[in-house]
Structure 1
Amino acid sequence: MVREIVVYPDKRLKLISKEVESFNGALHDLLDDMYETMRARNGVGLAAIQVGIDLRALIINIPLEDTDGEHDQPKENTLEMINPVIIEKDGSEKFQEGCLSIPGIYEEVERAKHVKVEYCDRDGHKHTIEDNDFLAIAIQHEMDHLDGKVFIEKLSYMKRKKFEKEWKRRLKEA
């Protein structure tokens, strides 16, 4: 089921998400709905809080390009991370980011180039993943949501002011 996306400046985006304690059918349904919602909005990642659920759960599915140049995100390629914790990070890289909760805005954000993360899958089994590419950026972006942060908070003061002005104008026009 496609759920509604929580859009900035909704106060729920400031919530610090709670640890997942039950790896049950309700969690599985939430993860499945998050996948459908992310696909419907052409996203590459989604945190549970973005659909109004304050649990430490996120998904990432980086599109694969097929032989026809089409992009696909098969469900089996979805990385589901429950209660993720960054245990190592280093380096620095700037990357243009966007967010389903702040549609139409893209800005350069600086993040760690390399991350190593421990997390649980939907059944509660522990895993570790390490990356120094786009996946590392996506993980950090989605994990920020779990801590009540959105990517525009990482912008310089001037860029943030410009964003706020532009966003208010857009909301008035909507």
Structure 2
Amino acid sequence: MILPIVAYGDPVLRKVGIDIDKDYPDLDILIENMKETMTNASGVGLAAPQIGKAIRLFVVNATPFSEDEELDSEERKFLATFDKVFINAKILKEEGDEWAFNEGCLSIPDIREDVFRQEKITIEYLDENFEKHTDVIKGIAARVVQHEYDHIEGILFTDKISSLKKRLIKKKLENISKGKIRADYRMKFPLLKRK
């Protein structure tokens, strides 16, 4: 089932997610719904807060980046199969040079900004079968994971841009929270005035 994506301004996007266990109600259905919602919105990641749930869960499918001819063949090959579920994730280490990449967010449609992040992470998480993993991820895949991880920490990509850029997009952000935006997918707006 395709779920509505929560728009900028909703308090759930600012909550630090809580850990869940394998008894979380209908977890397998929730994960499938999140994957379907992400794909429907042409996203490469979706975190539970973006569908109104303040829990430590996000899904990532970076395969669309595998078509990028500017990336080396090894990274494209890695991205082609990078489709994962992250439960109770914890980034243990971020390392390497910070590099800029133009990011967007399904909760903040029509706004894209360059965000600086480190190039390599070590992350510990549980998969959908509650098996524990510790992975070292780099490049575009690391960036996607860092972006989604920020969501379960109550952080948005707009928090990582300069104060000048924040001032320049302030009105756009207000309009998004009021529903004065057109998205190609279902959204839930916190300040939408019903007529």
| TM-score normalised by L of structure 1 | 0.88
Question: 2:82–2:141: 8 Å Cα contact kept in structure 1?
Answer: no
Separation in 2 of the partners of 1:23 and 1:104? Answer: 37
**Deviation (angstroms), 1:157:** 0.5
Q: In the alignment, does 2:84 pair up with 1:79?
A: yes
Change (3 A) 1:28 1:77: farther
Give the corresponding residue for 1:28.
28
Give the corresponding residue for 1:51.
51
- What is the 5 A alignment of 1:129-140? 129-140=135-146
- Please list every run of 5 or more consecutive structure 1 residues that lacks an aligned counterpart in the other structure: 67-75
The root-mean-square deviation of aligned C-alpha atoms, in Å, is 1.9
- Please list every run of 5 or more consecutive structure 2 residues that lacks an aligned counterpart in the other structure: 68-80, 182-195
Separation in 1 of the partners of 2:16 and 2:125? Answer: 17
Matched AA of 2:114? E
**Deviation (angstroms), 1:102:** 0.2
- What is the 5 A alignment of 1:52-67? 52-64=52-64
Separation in 2 of the partners of 1:173 and 1:137? Answer: 29
Give the corresponding residue for 1:70.
none
Give the corresponding residue for 1:125.
131
| TM-score normalised by L of structure 2 | 0.79
4+ residue segments displaced more than 4 Å: 169-174
Q: What percent of counterpart residues are identical?
A: 34
Matched AA of 1:79? K
Separation in 2 of the partners of 1:10 and 1:24? Answer: 23
Larger RCO, structure (CA 8 Å, separation 6 or more): 2
Matched AA of 1:82? I
Separation in 2 of the partners of 1:9 and 1:63? Answer: 29
Separation in 1 of the partners of 2:106 and 2:125? Answer: 23
Separation in 2 of the partners of 1:19 and 1:25? Answer: 13
Q: How many residues align?
A: 165
Separation in 1 of the partners of 2:31 and 2:168? Answer: 35
Separation in 2 of the partners of 1:28 and 1:138? Answer: 22
Question: 1:23–1:122: 8 Å Cα contact kept in structure 2?
Answer: no
